[in-house]
């Protein structure tokens, strides 16, 4: 295995508005553990966040949007990073990886991101819809990538994990638990009914 190979293939996932260059979603990843002997605050190891401060991130995003707005390609080398991107309506989706990263892997990541959002947002991948469904967008990105490690590239699998309730929530009252006095009373009645049902089964 080459010494610079790492599971931490993604440096950042970004969603930027093309109308006003504003940041809609930005997640920069940092490998949780630096290799032994790495100096503190170093950004020169695989999986390290190359833009640790907000100022660095904003400068990178601004330059990136300016560069990609003028090209018709899906992949560029920018600031010694491989960047794959897709434009959807009034937003630009980006996946950023290191200069030595596999372009096909990063391209599969951007396709999975785009297709997942297309399914989740019912073909309306635009700034307003993304903001209104920010929770779903964040969950989809978390299912796609964790700490810079690409987890899943099948959009159907990602959407299923995001939109399906967790197994422990199946059988809960419709709409979940409402944390008001009436909601708690409803949950108490629901719990009593479930206990009574389980007692009847054992008799």
Q: Is residue 1 part of a domain?
A: no
Looking at the fold, whether 114 and 195 belong to one and the same domain comes out as: no
Q: How many domains does the chain have?
A: 2
171 falls within a domain: yes
Tell me, what's the pLDDT at 201? Answer: 67
**Within-domain flag for 193:** yes
Query: What's the CATH code of the domain at 125?
Result: 3.30.450.60
Task: For residues 89 and 75, state if they share a domain.
Answer: yes
In this structure, the answer to whether residues 139 and 180 fall within a common structural domain is: no
The answer on pLDDT for 60 being more than 90 is yes
Average pLDDT over residues 40-52: 70
Q: Which domain holds residue 39?
A: 10-163
Same domain (yes/no): 191, 105? no
Question: Residue 37: pLDDT above 70?
Answer: no
pTM: 0.74
Angle at 142 (CA atoms; ends 82, 124), nearest 5 degrees: 85
Is 27 in a helix, a strand, or coil?
A: strand
**CA distances from residue 163 to 13, 111, 125, 135, 160 in whole angstroms, order as listed:** 21, 19, 17, 11, 5
Same domain, yes or no: 154 and 171? no
Shared-domain flag, residues 119 and 26? yes
Q: Per-residue pLDDT for 3 more than 50?
A: no
Whether 2 is in a domain gets the answer: no
Rg (CA), the chain: 21
Share of the chain above pLDDT 90, in %: 47
């Amino acid at each position: 295995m080459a010494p610079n190979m790492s599971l931490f293939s993604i440096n950042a996932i970004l969603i930027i508005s093309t109308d006003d260059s504003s940041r809609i979603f930005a997640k920069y990843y940092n490998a949780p553990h630096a290799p032994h002997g790495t100096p503190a605050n170093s950004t020169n190891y695989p999986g390290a966040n190359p833009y640790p401060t907000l100022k660095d991130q904003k400068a990178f995003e601004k330059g990136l949007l300016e560069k990609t707005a003028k090209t018709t390609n899906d992949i560029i080398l920018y600031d010694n990073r491989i960047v794959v991107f897709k434009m959807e309506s009034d937003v630009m989706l980006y996946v950023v990886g290191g200069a030595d990263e596999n372009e096909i892997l990063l391209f599969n990541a951007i396709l999975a991101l785009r297709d997942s959002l297309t399914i989740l947002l019912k073909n309306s991948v635009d700034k307003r819809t993304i903001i209104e469904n920010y929770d779903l967008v964040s969950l989809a990105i978390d299912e796609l990538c964790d700490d810079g490690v690409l987890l899943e590239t099948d959009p159907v699998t990602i959407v299923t994990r995001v939109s399906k309730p967790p197994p422990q929530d199946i059988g809960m009252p419709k709409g979940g638990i409402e944390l008001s006095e009436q909601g708690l009373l409803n949950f108490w009645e629901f719990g009593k009914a479930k206990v009574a049902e389980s007692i009847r089964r054992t008799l």
